[in-house]
Structure 1
C-alpha cells in the first residue's frame, strides 16, 4: 500500500470507446480506482455490464454502473478543453505523440487552468478510428515491446492512471504547480471541444465558399488545419475572433458569386 495519505485526484475522465468485453470494463474500473480516479465515461459499448464486469472490478463496479453512456466520442468530450487519445503509433492521422509521463503533466496542467480533460481509450481489437483520433489534441503512446505490442485495455488504463498519480505526487513534493506548456493567456476561458468543432465546421464551409481546394481533396487540408489549431489550444475569445473573420469571408464570397446587375453594353 502506498504510504501517502488519501488525497483529492483531479476529475479527469477516462473515456472508453466501443468496449467489446464487459469484463474489461470492470478491470479498467479497478485500475482507475487503485490510483484514486472514478470518472469513467462509456461510448457505445458493444455489450452492457454484466457479472463478468463486477467480478473483474473487485469492488470498483460502481464506476461502471454510474458511468454516463454516449453514442459518439464527439458527444462524450464536447465540453473538454483537452482530449488525449491512447493509440498505437502507425496511424494516418498525424498527431503530436506524448509518452505517459508527459501526457500526465499536460493533463494536470490543463486541469489547473480550468479545462475539462479526457483520456480516450479505443476498442480492444481495433483501437480508435481515424475520425475519432481527429477529435484528439494529441496522442498518448505507451512504448511497449514492438515485437509484442498488444496491450490489454485495462493495462493501458492502469499505465495512464499511474502516470497521473505519480505526476501529481511529484508536484506536491516539489510544492509547486504542475507546469503546462500550452497555458492560455491569463484570465481567458479555454475553448471547449464543442466550440472548436463549431469553428472547424465553419472553416470547412468557408474554404469551399472561396474555392480554396480547387479540385484537391478537402479532407487532407482540414486534417492539417485541425492539427495547427488544436496544437495551440485556443481560448473562447480567440475562437470567436476567428469565426468573425470566417463570417466576413463567407459574406464576401457570397457577394462575389452574385450575378452582376450592371449591363455589359456601352452607355447610349
Structure 2
C-alpha cells in the first residue's frame, strides 16, 4: 500500500497561489499523472472536485514520485467550494460558444495568473475526460483557455492539458526571477564562452596554428596543392570557424593531424611558423 510522503511547509509564493482544479475526474490514474506534471513544473496546489475514485493505488502509481502532491490534495464535493476564495478563474475549453466568452492562449493565461496571484489564489480549472467543463462551469470563469492543438485531432489527455499550462506558468516564473534578468536555465549554452561550457574558447593564434597544420597535412597526403588551391582551405576554414572550437578541441585536432603525419612518414613537416600542439595529453586524441 501507499506510504504517505513527509509533509512539506507551504510558503506564500507564486507557485502556491496557482490552484489546479480537476472536476469529476473519471480515472484516478489521470489524477496521478496530473500530480506528476505539476511537480515537474514546480506547482503543488491540487484540488479535486468530486473525483470518481481517490485516493487509490492507481493514482499514486501514475504520480511517479509526486505522491506528496497527492497527499496534500484538497478533495471537495462542488466546484463552488474550490473557487470560493479565488480572485481569478480560468477554465480550459476547446469548443465554441453561442455567447462569446473572453478566450486567451496558454502564454497569456500564465501572464494573467502571475499578475493576479499576489492578490489571492488563481484557479485553473480542467474538466472531465470525456466532455470537459459544462456551460454552467465555464460561465464561472473570467477567461477560457484555448490550447491551439491540431484542429483535426484536438482532444488532449487531461494530464497533457495540465502539463501545457504548468509549463507556461513555469516559463513565466523563470523569466521573472533573479531581478528580472531571467533564470540561467533559460539561457542557451551552444558554444565556448557561454556560461556552463567546460573549456574556454580557443584564441585566434591557436586556431590559426591549427589551420596551418591542417593545410600541411592535406599537402602531405596529396589531397591539397598550394599551386592549385581552388577554395579548399577557404571552405574548411568556414567549416571550423562555424564550429567555434574550444582549446581542448583544438588540441585534439592537432593531435589527430600529428598522428596522420606520423602514419605517412611526415612527422616533421608541420610549418615552423605555426604553433604546434601544447603538451596537454591531447596529441593522441585523449580527452
Smaller-chain TM-score bracket = 0.5 to 0.7
Q: TM-score, normalised by structure 2?
A: 0.56
- Is the alpha carbon distance of 1:147 and 1:129 closer, same or farther for their aligned partners in structure 2, counting shifts above 3 Å? same
Q: 1:225-253 CA deviation, whole Å, 9 max, x = no partner?
A: xxxxxxxxxxxxxxxxxxxxxxxxxxxxx
Partner of 1:32: 38
Q: 1:33-76 CA deviation, whole Å, 9 max, x = no partner?
A: 00000000000111223221111100112212321111111111
Provide the secondary structure at the position in 1 that maps to 2:15.
coil
Partner of 1:69: 75
Give the one of 52, 66, 69 matched to 1:46.
52
Give distance in 1, aligned partners of 2:108 and 2:56.
Answer: 35
Give the unaligned 5+ runs of structure 1.
1-7, 178-268
CA contact under 8 A between 1:10 and 1:108: conserved in structure 2? no
CA RMSD of aligned residues (A): 1.8
- Is the alpha carbon distance of 1:172 and 1:99 closer, same or farther for their aligned partners in structure 2, counting shifts above 3 Å? same
Give distance in 2, aligned partners of 1:126 and 1:15.
Answer: 16
Give distance in 2, aligned partners of 1:77 and 1:157.
Answer: 18
Provide the secondary structure at the position in 1 that maps to 2:124.
strand
Pairwise CA distance, 1:14: 0.2
Partner of 1:197: none
Partner of 2:91: 85
Partner of 2:249: none
Q: TM-score, normalised by structure 1?
A: 0.60
Partner of 2:281: none
CA contact under 8 A between 2:30 and 2:159: conserved in structure 1? yes
CA contact under 8 A between 2:35 and 2:66: conserved in structure 1? yes
- Is the alpha carbon distance of 1:79 and 1:49 closer, same or farther for their aligned partners in structure 2, counting shifts above 3 Å? same
Give the unaligned 5+ runs of structure 2.
1-12, 183-287
1:131 aligns with 2:130: no
Partner of 1:147: 152
Partner of 1:5: none
Pairwise CA distance, 1:87: 1.2
Give distance in 2, aligned partners of 1:55 and 1:70.
Answer: 22
- Is the alpha carbon distance of 1:131 and 1:54 closer, same or farther for their aligned partners in structure 2, counting shifts above 3 Å? same
Pairwise CA distance, 1:93: 4.8
CA contact under 8 A between 2:15 and 2:44: conserved in structure 1? no
Larger radius of gyration: 2
Aligned residue pairs total 169
Give distance in 2, aligned partners of 1:148 and 1:51.
Answer: 31
Where do 1:82-121 residues align within 5 Å? 82-112=88-118, 114-121=119-126
Provide the secondary structure at the position in 1 that maps to 2:109.
helix
Q: 1:184-212 CA deviation, whole Å, 9 max, x = no partner?
A: xxxxxxxxxxxxxxxxxxxxxxxxxxxxx
CA contact under 8 A between 2:36 and 2:63: conserved in structure 1? yes
Give the one of 162, 182, 186 matched to 1:157.
162
Misfit runs of 4+, over 3 Å: none
Ranked by relative contact order (alpha carbons within 8 Å, sequence separation 6 or more), the top structure is: 1
Partner of 2:61: 55
CA contact under 8 A between 1:121 and 1:128: conserved in structure 2? yes
Pairwise CA distance, 1:173: 6.0
Q: 1:136-176 CA deviation, whole Å, 9 max, x = no partner?
A: 00001000000001100000010000000101112226718
Provide the secondary structure at the position in 2 that maps to 1:83.
strand
Give distance in 2, aligned partners of 1:155 and 1:47.
Answer: 20
